[in-house]
Amino acid sequence: MIKKVILSLLFSGFSLLANQPAGPKNTIFLWDFHSVIAQRFFIGESHVKPKQDVAQIIKKLKDLGYTHHLGSNMKYKTYTLVTDPIKRPQFADIFAQFDLSKSQVKSCGLAKPSAAFFLEYLRKNDLDLSQTKIIFIDDKVKNVDAAKKLGFDTIQFKNAKQLVEDLAAKGISIDQQQKPKYKSQSTMENF
């Protein structure tokens, strides 16, 4: 009888953890780079620019205490280039909001939408989806569907307005009346 009560309490506690509302302490945003953070570009194009409206959202979420990781199919060489504040200063303010050491990029054949890409991200960061809500944001349906099948919370990105609406539907409110101050740089001058 006592064992049943203890087991019941243990399992109800675990289910309570899994059903916690999204909050800064138990939620991580996993962002795609191409067409979500950056305007669409071709590999090797040097004039890639950040989407300032998305940069504002990332900054506001960071100000609220949320953690950001990058989950992209870019190759490691491209990743080191776009995250380098000297070589790509137009992204320096954005990536200052990220924990880049916990990001996942294409490597050893692991790429979205493969389940292995997402599982490797979870493994290397010692994350458990029953204890941490991970909101994966990508513009491609196949990538969003793959993450969703594994238990990630997902948003298919179309534009910043829709992203704010989808976040609000998940209980994450971003005050649009008072935009965070985000250091704007002339992207071409600093290139």
Domain parsing of the chain, residue ranges:
2-169
CA dihedral 189→100→109→126, nearest 10 degrees, is -170
Tokens, residue 92: 């320096």
Q: Tokens in use for 81?
A: 């280039």
The single-letter DSSP state of residue 50 is: B
Find tokens 């960071």 and name the residue.
Answer: 62
Provide the CATH topology of domain 2-169. Answer: Rossmann fold (3.40.50)
* Sheet with 67-75, edge to edge strand ranges: 104-106, 67-75, 27-31, 133-138, 153-156
Q: What pLDDT is attached to residue 17? A: 40
Mean pLDDT across 68-75: 93
Tokens 């992203």 belong to 163
Q: What percent of the chain has pLDDT over 90?
A: 61
Containing H/E element for 104? strand 104-106
pLDDT single digits (tens) 20-45: 555 788 999 999 998 999 986 555 55
